[in-house]
Structures are given as structure tokens and as C-alpha cells.
Structure 1
Amino acid sequence: MFTTEDDGDFKETEVETCAQLFLRLASKPSLEFLDRHLFPCNFPKPGEVIEIHGSSATGKTELLMNLMSKCILPKRWKGIEIDGFEAEVLFIDTDYKFSVMKLHQMLKKQLLKIINLKSVEEFSSSSSGDTKRQKQTDSSSMGEAVKVKIDESVLEELVKSSLDRLYLVKCSSTNQLLITLHSIEAIFSQHPQLTVLMLDNLSAFYWEDRIRTGDNWTKFEELNNKVLTLLQTLIKEYNLVLFLTKNSTPMQGVKGGKASSSTDLDQNESFNTKSWCKISNYRLILTRTDFPFPIMVDGDKRHSSFCVKVFYQGQQHQCKLYISSDGISYA
């Protein structure tokens, strides 16, 4: 499309279809109160980027899966508040660490815990003014109700409906990632409820790309900037929240082809170019606090213990978390 200026010259302007306009302006499920420990004062909004940093085995993928489960769980079921967001998520796996079966088991355990807890709370509230005899009667009937609510087939149906909101893509190289980012635009155009884009792990192909580009740091940056540009376009055009994980070096970082000797994890560079730091709104840094052995919590169960530091608009806070087969719990 061309428009004329006052001096008679023509100027090219951008054109978008009605479908593109609708998708760009369509309301997405809000992620307010997604995680009050990580985002106590603010919450990820459309167009924002959340980076999750950490060295190997610091729980980056597990944290991403925990956030994912909250996004895809239903808001409520048969009057019981599940506190999910019913938001659709597209997950790009470059490390091939993501396990659908692990997510399936996590969702079942979380739903079972939530339904049992909410059922007890509702029963306690409804019977607060009853007599002792009435309470005993209600308690017996509630036991039967809970059995129905936690039936295996019911749980499976809830988990299936949640997994229907997840789209999984796997990439084995930067070139494949670039092709994927070009092609998934069709998915976003067909699914207005797609709210979250997750990428695990952005730095998976770092050494492969360094070998391909040799000592030419400029070519390496150009390759990374192509990925950056495509991601920025997607989150802007489709009002997405982007979560991505990146490896960071515990002893030294790489910047401009040169190694730095900083031992402070907060100052370490990730295995990517400096351009990425410019687009991040949140930066989460994970460190393991129980090395080399998991600690004992919940009786005789052993959980991995981690510390996460959250940086946002010049502010920072930190919290401690545990990772188990049930997901993440905070200290």
C-alpha cells in the first residue's frame, strides 16, 4: 500500500489483514498471579521476555515445566477453583530433555492435591454452623463426594484437556530453529488463545555455531540476531509472553570472543551474544544449594534445593525452592 505525502512523493506503509489485526488486538488470558514467589509485585505481560539462567542441573527445565503446568491447567472444574489460566503454550525443545510423561504425572499430582484441598475447604466452610451430628453426616457424604472427584478417569480427562493446550516442537540446530520460528506463525494465526512461547534451551547450539563460524565473532552474532529478530517479531505481533532458558558459565563467560574471569554468578555471561540482554524484562538466576546431595524434607523424602534470584527493572529479590516429582514447592 502506498500513501502520498504533502510534497507529492509516495511512501510505502505497512499493511495487515483483518485477521492479523484481530489476533494482534485480541485479549489473551492474563498471567496475573502466575507465581507470587517469582513475580510478587508484577507479572509477565504480553510482549515481555523472561530469561532463566543457570549452569547445568540447576532446575531450569523443571521451573519452566512448573510455570507451564499453571498456564495450561483449567481455571475451575465443577465449581472447584483449580487456579489455572487455561492459556495455550507453544514449547520449543532444543535440549530434548522435555518429557511429556513427566508433565502428565506432574499435572495429575497437582490436580489431585488441589481438588482434595479445595474439597476440604468447601466442606469446612459449609459445615461451620452445623451441629456435631450434622457434621458427622456431612463428613460421611463428603467422603463419598471426594471419591468421585478424585476418580482416575476424571483426573485423566482433566489432564488430557490441559495437555490439549500444549504444542510441542523439537529443534536440533540453529538453522532448524530459524525455520521453525518462520513456520510457527501459522500456528499462532490459527490459535488466538496461544499466550505463551517457551524456548528451552536458547544456548543449546552455542558450541556447534561457534565451530561453524570459526573465529568470526561477527558471523556468530549475525546468526544469533536472526533468532532474536524472529522472536521479537512473534511476541510483538501476537502479544506473547516469552520464557526462555539459557546456560551460564559458573567460572567464566564469553563476550566478544574473549573469556572473562568473573566468579560472581550475577555478573556471568550466558552462552549467547550481548544483544539478548537488551530485550529481557525479567532475569532469573538459578543456583543449586544442596550440592552434591539432595536434602531431606517432608519426612524421609529427598528433594533438590535451589535458590532463584529475580531481577526486574533494577530491583531484585530471591527465594528458595525444592524440586520433586510433584513439581516445585517454595521454602
Structure 2
Amino acid sequence: MAAKRWIDGDETAAEMLSRVSSERPFLLLPPLHRVPLRVGNVVELAGPSSSAKTQILIQAAVNCILPKEWNGVHYGGLERLVMFIDLDCRFDVTRLSEMLKHRIMEPIGSMYDHEELYAACMSRFLYVRCYDSLEFLATLKTLHHRLKREKKMHNLNMQLLMIDSIGPFQWVDRGSTFFPLGSHNRKCLSLQSISETVVQEIKKLLLLHPLIVIATKEIVLDNVYGMDEAKQNNYMLEESGGRSITSSTQRLPYREFMPPIWQSFITHKILVRASDDLLPIRLDQEHSLYFSEWLLPSLSFQDKFVVKDAGIFIVS
């Protein structure tokens, strides 16, 4: 019957766009605002330590768990569920709480009588911590059933699946071989098979749930930004072993360590890094300055942003 109603339906293009945008809204917020992100996208947020990667995840999470409107006050949120998988085991829930409270108080100036809104928003944030690759795989394999349960409980769809960060167990897995419990006839879990299984399980989730996946990745930046063009080309040729490389690879200022199956799986890639400069906000206050750059799709400019109590703001 649902299929018949869909076939017999009659709507204008404007009505169709309005319906789709409400059912599956884009994620459009700084510093990810240059390219609208939609369900099915897999975004890699790469950057060195202390480059505001987790802050960007928190900003996106707050935007999703806030409602569009509450008691006549406009918040512009998506009112959707968010799943945060913490592989670094360093997530600070107080930072999420503080940013959410700032967003709630921004239009009204006080948290008075808005504890109910705060509690409702926090209930939409789902958190899982994993200490090794086997726990991560177990989480992904059981995630479909949990998402179904949470959707039924909240009567809301999941919008974001966040992984902070992808690849923290790579160096342990590289020198280890795991055998599944209960049988020695099963395939051993090597580094390659773990990566393949992670990608396969996320693909299954994307088929069953309209999600945007954002994964952070900690990298070590090479000193490519300060090189002239000739030195940079020589550097990239050395990194590729003298083989021909694509233009997108030439612009990577770090050594890629994730397996090819993951690299081919992601649809968007963003590089973030901290600047040595401080941006004066007031006479008695300065904020660290950060840069973001789209590598996939490749854009020819960088955005500057700062992290304040209320969130991330683009600097012109």
C-alpha cells in the first residue's frame, strides 16, 4: 500500500524538495559548510593532535540534537539522534554539555525553565566507548539492532554516526593476529581483514539507516605548506616511490596510513590544523586560530575558524 501511494502521489518539484529536505536534511555548519553533507556521505576529518577535530564533532552533534523550535524559540536544530563511538577514549562529555547550554541560552539569556529541553537533547546523544578493535567490530555488528531500538524509543531517526578516531588501533593490529573465539576454523582477524570488516559493517548500516558518517583521523603533518613547488613535487614523488600519482594525492601533506579499502570508501575528506597565531577577540581575551581545507572534493582555499564556548565560528 505504501508503494501504491508513492506511485499515485502527485506533487510539485517545490513540494518534493521540501519533503526530502525535511525527511533527510543536509548537514551545513562551520567549518563543514562549504559542501552540504547528506545521508550516505562518509566524511574523514584528518588533522594532527589538538586541531579541534573533536570540537567539530561536538558542534555537529549539538546541531543535530537541538530541535528546530522549542516553545516558540528558534534553535535551528535537526532534532535527530546522534551516535558517538569513542575509540580514543578521551571524550569530555562536559564540553558537549557546556556547548549545548550555550546554544540553549543564546536566544533567551537563561537556562531557567529550559532544563526539560536540555534533558531531551542529551537523551538524543548516544555514546559508546571501545578499547580495542574487537570491541569496535562487536559494536558495529550490533549497531543496527540498537539503532532500531533507539528509533522506536525516541520516534526519531539517527542522523549522525561519529567515530573518534578511526585507526587508533592500527599499530597494535599491524603486529597482532586475532582468532575469533569458539572456533579455530574461522578466518583470523588481521589488520587488513579488520579494515575490510569495518567498511562492510558501515556499508550495511548505510543501506538500512539514512546516516551521515564522520570519522576523525589523527595524522602527523609533514612540512609541505612551507615548501616551494619544486621541492613539494620532489617530496611527493619520494612518498610515492617514484610512481605517477594523482593531483589529489599530490596535495596530501601527510603520510596516509589507513588501508586502501578505507581510503576508497570515504566520499569527503577535510584537513584541519592549528595555527601558531592567536586571534584577539577582546583586549583581555584571545582564541587559537585553526585552518580547514577540503581535500575531497578539492577546493582551492582554506577557511579560518576559532573555537568559542558557544561553538565554532568562521573568521573572515
TM-score class, shorter-chain normalisation, is: 0.7 to 0.9
Structure 1 position 154, deviation (Å): 2.4
Residues 181 and 33 (structure 1), Cα distance of their counterparts in 2 relative to 1, 3 Å cut? closer
Do residues 228 (structure 1) and 228 (structure 2) align?
Answer: no
Do residues 35 (structure 1) and 35 (structure 2) align?
Answer: no
Query: What residue is the counterpart of 1:5 in the other structure?
Result: none
Q: 2:168 aligns to what SS in structure 1?
A: coil
Query: What residue is the counterpart of 1:11 in the other structure?
Result: none
The 5 A counterparts of 1:275-294 are 275-290=261-276, 294=278
Query: What residue is the counterpart of 2:169 in the other structure?
Result: 205
Residues 160 and 205 (structure 1), Cα distance of their counterparts in 2 relative to 1, 3 Å cut? same
Instruction: Tell me the matched-pair count.
Output: 260
CA distance in 1, matches of 2:74, 2:48: 36
CA distance in 1, matches of 2:25, 2:167: 26
Sequence identity percentage? 25
Q: Deviations over 1:243-289 (max 9, x none)?
A: 1101122239xxxxxx9499x87242443112212122211100111
Query: What residue is the counterpart of 2:254 in the other structure?
Result: 268
Q: 1:202 aligns to what SS in structure 2?
A: coil
Q: 2:44 aligns to what SS in structure 1?
A: strand
Residues 247 and 271 (structure 1), Cα distance of their counterparts in 2 relative to 1, 3 Å cut? farther
Query: What residue is the counterpart of 1:63 in the other structure?
Result: 56
* Amino acid of the structure 2 residue aligned with 1:156: E
Structure 1 position 219, deviation (Å): 3.4
Q: Is the 8 A contact 2:66 2:121 kept in 1?
A: yes
Q: Is the 8 A contact 1:181 1:230 kept in 2?
A: yes
Residues 27 and 307 (structure 1), Cα distance of their counterparts in 2 relative to 1, 3 Å cut? closer
The 5 A counterparts of 1:161-200 are 161-190=120-149, 191=151, 193-200=157-164
Residues 309 and 57 (structure 1), Cα distance of their counterparts in 2 relative to 1, 3 Å cut? same
Q: 2:295 aligns to what SS in structure 1?
A: strand
Query: What residue is the counterpart of 1:251 in the other structure?
Result: 222
Q: 2:276 aligns to what SS in structure 1?
A: coil
Structure 1 position 78, deviation (Å): 2.0
Q: Is the 8 A contact 2:158 2:210 kept in 1?
A: no
Greater Cα radius of gyration, structure 1 or 2: 1
CA distance in 1, matches of 2:42, 2:128: 19
* Amino acid of the structure 1 residue aligned with 2:130: C
* Amino acid of the structure 1 residue aligned with 2:29: D
Q: Deviations over 1:282-323 (max 9, x none)?
A: 1110011126xx443233222121000023445454211101
Residues 154 and 290 (structure 1), Cα distance of their counterparts in 2 relative to 1, 3 Å cut? farther
Q: CA RMSD, aligned part only? A: 2.8
Gaps of 5+ in 1: 1-25, 117-149, 253-258
Q: Deviations over 1:213-260 (max 9, x none)?
A: 59xxx93222211111111111222121101101122239xxxxxx94
Query: What residue is the counterpart of 2:81 in the other structure?
Result: 88
Residues 62 and 37 (structure 1), Cα distance of their counterparts in 2 relative to 1, 3 Å cut? closer
Q: Is the 8 A contact 2:30 2:312 kept in 1?
A: no
CA distance in 2, matches of 1:230, 1:224: 10
CA distance in 2, matches of 1:60, 1:37: 10
Query: What residue is the counterpart of 1:303 in the other structure?
Result: 287
Residues 324 and 27 (structure 1), Cα distance of their counterparts in 2 relative to 1, 3 Å cut? closer
User: TM-score by structure 2 length?
Assistant: 0.74
* Amino acid of the structure 2 residue aligned with 1:236: L
